[in-house]
Amino acid sequence: MNHRGGVVIKSQRELELMRAAGRVNALALRAAVALVRPGVTTAEIDQAAVEVLRQQGAQPAFLGVPGAYPYPATTTISVNDELVHGIPGKRRLREGDIVSIDCGSIVGGFVGDSALTVGVGKISEPAQHLIDVTRQALFVGIDQMRPGRRTGDVGAAIQAYVEAQGFNVVREYTGHGVGQRMHEDPQVPNYGIPGRGLSLAPGMTIALEPMLMAGSPETRVLADQWTVASADGELTAHFEHTVAVTREGPWVLTTLDPELDGEGPPEYNDYFVGRPQAIREERSMRS
């Protein structure tokens, strides 16, 4: 296997396998999002992803991940102040909640890793704004995923965008290389200094994942020893795509195949096709 700066470089064939894994992950997330409504449990949402992976012959990447105890589910589902690693269970979603769903799929030995945050029923304007900024921060980062750009350029672009919108990025959790293992080098923080860090090269595959805090950037781990939440109880949001660096520009691997799969839900279709809509700043300027 080819390496550069300690980072695994994927061949075209390996990128195709990662694309297959990424597509399954998109199908799983679309099925999960379709269930989100007041009254549904997070376990029911997880089960929708389980079914998709089974139908597609994919393995779950999160199930059994070592921690205080092996991670027990296919997705992580994190509600409101919960940021990442929430364990699906009996919790029922309520109108006005925001819910972050993260999933990992393995196809042909390669991992696709992606996540998004959606509202439950009608949500508040500040909650919608947090979601919109987080989604846009992901696309701001993706736009930096080009040969010769550095990981510091990616982080700096995300951080500048997020902080200009009045939100904070998390420090303790970062984007990461992904391939045959879910977490490979390099780490790609959602903050940074332009021109610093590893130089990106074609064949690198990175899970980019802005994690935003409406309040302070401090986090805490809940009593279940997995769920990471904001220390101050304020809302959080999380969007993630697995992206390949290519000579032609960023290739978002964790999208639907429009010919085979159709579209995503209208309000999230830009995410499921891996392209940003017109920047949503107008909304915040109006509000």
Residues 235-254 that bind Mg ion (CB under 5 A): 240
Please select the residue that binds Mg ion; options are 77, 101, 106, 115, rule is CB under 5 A: 115
Choices 14-22, 66-74, 207-215, 255-263; region in contact with Mg ion by CB under 5 A: 207-215
Interface with Mg ion (CB under 5 A), residue total: 5
Please select the residue that binds Mg ion; options are 97, 113, 153, 184, rule is CB under 5 A: 113
Residue 116 in the binding site for Mg ion (CB under 5 A): no
Choices 38-46, 102-110, 145-153, 244-252; region in contact with Mg ion by CB under 5 A: 102-110
Q: Kindly tell me which of 14 and 113 has the beta carbon lying closer to Mg ion.
A: 113
With b for 16 or more beta-carbon neighbours within 10 A and e for fewer, the 20-45 pattern comes to bbbbbbbbbbbbbbebbeeebbbbbb
Answer whether 197's CB lies under 8 Å from 185's CB. Answer: no
Choices 4-12, 112-120, 166-174, 274-282; region in contact with Mg ion by CB under 5 A: 112-120
Residue 106 in the binding site for Mg ion (CB under 5 A): no
CA separation (Å) from 11 to 20, 82, 111, 243, 245? 14, 37, 15, 14, 12
Nearest CA among 78, 65, 212 for reference residue 136: 212
Closest approach of Mg ion to the CB of residue 250, in Å: 16
Cβ neighbours around 55 below 10 Å, total:
12
Task: Enumerate binding residues for Mg ion (CB under 5 A).
Answer: 102, 113, 115, 207, 240
